[in-house]
Structure 1
Amino acid sequence: MRSVVRAPRLWRRHGLAKAVVVGAALVTVGLTYAVLVPNGAAGADGPQSQKIEEGRRLFAVGCSSCHGLNADGGSNGEGRMAGPSLVGVGAAAVDFQVSTGRMPAVQPGAQVPQKPPVYTPEEIEALAAYVGSLGPGPAVPAEEAYDVSNATQEEVVRGGELFRTNCTACHNFAGRGGALPHGRYAPSLMETTPRNIYQAMLTGPQQMPVFSDQVLVPEDKRAIIAYLVSLQESNDPGGFGLGRLGPVSEGLWGWLVGIGLLVAVAVWIGAKVPRVGGRNGQTKD
């Protein structure tokens, strides 16, 4: 009876006992994870991980000089910030900035202008995946979120109301953009794609406020896009849009061209009328 009791104690004192217990625990945890994790979960070498790694390499070459090697912000060596931290901005912000050519920026300024993109769509997707993996943030929206090809007239009308309420202070009611303080400006939306319009509302690039889904629900964003697309596709009945500023540009055009032509005609007529002079009322050439 004593030998039966002493054997387990001797085994617990053995040097390999702890290793066996730890190994058994690891095997148990591994089997549990394999059973509970969905089959579609991406592995360490899955397509998404490869895309993130490709984005990390692209970021290190083209973006780290301003935003830091770890995307946590960088300085220009004089104590001034060269680029903000991108941790938590989300993949949608990267997709917007890079697909519109605003990033990489040529030089710092009051506002980075739009230009042709530097990266291919596949590279932009990889950069967005990498930055999106650094912290929670808005993801790139699905196509159905901004597809307005089947939008109804009611949606266009409601989108116009929402746009005039929330956006005309900067972009004007026709979406043609406008000047802002300190050398900044609201760009024209006449050539902006529905995808980028949605992402701009979702992320708030540069001085634009963020219209999250709690502020503007996805249905409202889609209605605004439908209204802007209708403006992009509409023609100018008069032939010249004149910025679609209404009486302001039309009145200026009337004064500069209309009144200007009348003044020119009056001067021309006055130059052709013979002048009368002398004592005998003789005309002078």
Structure 2
Amino acid sequence: MAREKKRRNSGRRSPLAAAVLIGVGLLLTGGVYAGASAAMAATNDTTQQSSNLTAEDGKKLFQANCATCHGLDMQGTESGPSLYGVGELAVEFQVSTGRMPLAAQGPQAQIKPPQMTEAQAQAIAAYVQSMAPGPKYPSAETIDGKGDVANGAELFRINCAMCHNVAGAGGALTEGKYAPPLTSTSALHMYAAMVTGPQNMPVFSNTNLNLNEKRDIISYLLFLQENKSPGGFGLGDLGPVSEGLFIWIFGIGTLIAVTVWITAKSN
């Protein structure tokens, strides 16, 4: 009995050890909390600072990232065109989609992850607008997606489908150029493309398409984004090409398989 009691006593933990464990746990918890709080505070500070950018901040960003090609006075150089008259809408479109700053010369600027935040893009746009006024941001109503979808679909087929495909899936052009897909393009950038005519796209002035018609086209494209392939499989949205290939492979293939099966059955 004495030996068993001694073993039990030797297996018990000291009250000091429990206090040490509790203290270590509290220190770890406090350290993690303090680190998380500091990170959140830094993120909030960065967000607040970036959201308060002005045209003067845009000037500094422009000089650091854009002036090499477009010139300090936006007059253009051998590497980039003049920005006089492009306005804030074109600048926001090019910078926010990652097309600018340009990574390398090519048939056209590639869409890539943007190098600047939206606030920085808007600051550069504000600076360019103050120095070289041009097309401005549209009203909220123009890009609200509540226009006439049916009319927008007809206008899109007449004016845009030859390059962007009737389903907005994009398409190849000449000399290595292409019309980008519109399956994830924002309403603002749809409007900006129609007004500023980036890359090979023509400019649609109010004489070609008035504001209501632009609104209808945007509404149609937003409808397509929300209702992908309502008729069934999209098959790449390539129209008769993919549909004919599907019918040839599976339709003719099925007929051949049935013919072989009937022949084997009769033999």
| TM-score interval for Structure 1 and Structure 2 normalised by the shorter chain | 0.7 to 0.9
Structure 1 unaligned segments of length 5 or more: list them: 1-49, 76-81, 274-285
1:61 alignment partner in structure 2: 64
2:188 aligns with one of 162, 176, 195? 195
Q: Is the 8 A contact 1:89 1:135 kept in 2?
A: yes
Alignment match, 2:82: 85
Which residues of 2 match residues 134-213 of structure 1 at below 5 A? 134-148=131-145, 150-151=146-147, 155-213=148-206
- Deviation readout 1:140-186 (Å, 9 max, x if unpaired): 223222111x44xxx11111111111111111211111111111111
For 2:206 and 2:134, how far apart are their aligned partners in 1?
A: 13
Q: Which amino acid aligns with 1:126?
A: A
Runs of at least 5 residues in structure 2 that lack an aligned partner in the other structure: 1-52
Aligned twin of 2:248: 255
8 Å contact 2:88–2:133 — kept in the other structure?
A: no
1:229 is the counterpart of 2:222: yes
- Give the AA of the match of 2:64: V
- How does 1:38-77 map onto structure 2 within 5 Å? 51-75=54-78
- Write out per-residue CA displacement over residues 27-58 of structure 1, whole angstroms, 9 at most, x where no aligned residue: xxxxxxxxxxxxxxxxxxxxxxx722111100
Counterparts in 2 of 1:137 and 1:221: CA distance versus 1, 3 Å:
same
Alpha-carbon separation, structure 2, partners of 1:101 and 1:168: 24
1:104-119 to 2 correspondences below 5 Å: 104-119=101-116
Secondary structure of residue in 2 paired with 1:159: helix
Residue 97 of structure 1 aligns with which residue?
94
1:216 CA drift (Å)? 1.3
Deviation sequence 1:225-257 (CA, Å, 0-9, x none) = 011111111142565201233333111112134
TM-score by length of 1: 0.68
Structure 2 CA distance, aligned partners of 1:161 and 1:222?
Answer: 13
Residue in structure 1 matched with residue 34 of structure 2 by the alignment: none
* CA distance in structure 1 between the partners assigned to 2:254 and 2:100 by the alignment: 47
- Which of the two has higher C-alpha Rg? 1
Residue 213 of structure 1 and its aligned partner are, at CA, apart by: 2.1
Match of 1:130 among 117, 120, 127: 127
Partner residue of 1:243?
236
Determine helix, strand or coil for the equivalent of 1:216.
coil
2:261 and 2:113 mapped to 1: Cα distance? Answer: 50
Amino acid at match of 2:210: V
Identity of matched residues, %:
54
**Structure 1 or 2: more helix by fraction:** 2
Shift of 1:263: 5.3
Count residues in correspondence.
214
TM-score, structure 2 length as denominator?
0.73
Aligned partners of 2:68 and 2:262: how far apart in 1? 68
Is the contact made by 1:143 and 1:195 (CA closer than 8 Å) also made in structure 2? Answer: no
Alignment-mate amino acid for residue 119 of structure 1 = M
Kept after mapping to 1: 8 A contact 2:163/2:173: yes
Deviates more, 1:238-247 or 1:60-69: 238-247
**Relative contact order, CA 8 A, sep 6+: which one is greater?**
2
Letter in 2 for 1:70: D
CA separation of 1:224 and 1:267: change in aligned 2, threshold 3 A: same
Partner of 1:214: 207
